[in-house]
Amino acid sequence: MSFIELKSVVKRYGTNQVLRNVDLTVEKGEIIAVIGRSGSGKSTMLRCINGLEPVQGGEVWVDGVAVHDASADMRALRARVGIVFQSFNLFPHLTVERNITLGPMIVKGMPGEQAAALARDVLRKVGLEEKLKSYADQLSGGQQQRVAIARSLAMAPHLMLFDEITSALDPELVGEVLLVLEGMAREGMTMLLVTHEMSFARRVAHRVIFMHQGKVWEQGPAKDFFESPRTDELKNFLRAVLH
């Protein structure tokens, strides 16, 4: 079985069907970029993978866990699957250090000192070691997002999900966040990124997925995908975003 397997996944909000039989497989170590118009279901698909959204049909398998099953051990799963959000979602009442140590200490029962050392480690990876004692509102958007990535990394995830993590950033801050992602890519992390950064997707992703009307419409290796799109929908989309 593949590392991630989505089989005919259906997601509805009321009568609004957001995912219509989505099929997707991801192998360990793969870096997948997910693109598509807003409302195409790409963020929803990501959120179904770590169970933030329950699915109404189909199967979601992640690292051997049946996420679609209500009795699945979601706590164990979430400790292994990190997600970073568009709006950072740092805990504003806690220091950067505590933001990072909270998960390892509470979910994994890690002793305080070890967690503090870990916090320094992951902050070094995102280049913010000196912000250990800062609060979120003292950081720029790019720095907050890098702390959010560090917070996820502290859980030692097997898989990282990124939900449009540069979309809320000022253009000049996007680069520093993407740099962190490239570092993680080099270390072999399995990553799924919903993104609007086409050049980044092309450069870093192994495979690109185009979502349209709640389906995986087209997918392929990054180079072919951008140079020779097959469907009209993807051609139109690429024309619109690449102009």
Q: Which amino acid is at 5?
A: E
Nearest to 137 by CA among 151, 147, 127: 147
The span of 87-95, 166-174, 183-191, 213-221 binding another protein (CB under 8 A) equals: 87-95
The span of 14-22, 118-126, 151-159, 164-172 binding another protein (CB under 8 A) equals: 151-159
User: In this structure, what token pair is assigned to residue 70?
Assistant: 């209500």
Which residues contact residue 213 at a Cβ distance below 8 angstroms, ignoring those fewer than 6 apart?
Answer: 20, 40, 41
Give least dist CB 93 to another protein, A.
5
In three-state secondary structure terms, 10 is strand
User: Which one-letter DSSP state was computed for residue 194?
Assistant: E
Is residue 142 near another protein by the rule CB under 8 A?
A: no
Is residue 4 near another protein by the rule CB under 8 A?
A: no
Q: Which of residues 92-131 bind another protein (CB under 8 A)?
A: 92-93, 102-103, 106-107
The span of 72-80, 109-117, 177-185, 193-201 binding another protein (CB under 8 A) equals: 72-80
For another protein, the closer of residues 101 and 166 by Cβ is 101
User: Distance between CA atoms of 86 and 164, rounded to whole angstroms?
Assistant: 5
Helix (H) or strand (E) run with residue 238 in it: helix 232-242
String marking each residue 21-60 x if it binds another protein according to CB under 8 A: -----------------------------x-x--------
Burial of 237 (0-12, 13-18, 19+ CB in 10 A): buried
For another protein, the closer of residues 102 and 238 by Cβ is 102
User: Distance between CA atoms of 116 and 118, rounded to whole angstroms?
Assistant: 5
Q: Are strands 4-13 and 31-36 parallel, antiparallel or unpaired?
A: unpaired
Binding site for another protein (CB under 8 A): 50, 52, 75-76, 78-79, 82-83, 85, 87, 89-93, 102-103, 106-107, 135, 137, 151-152, 155
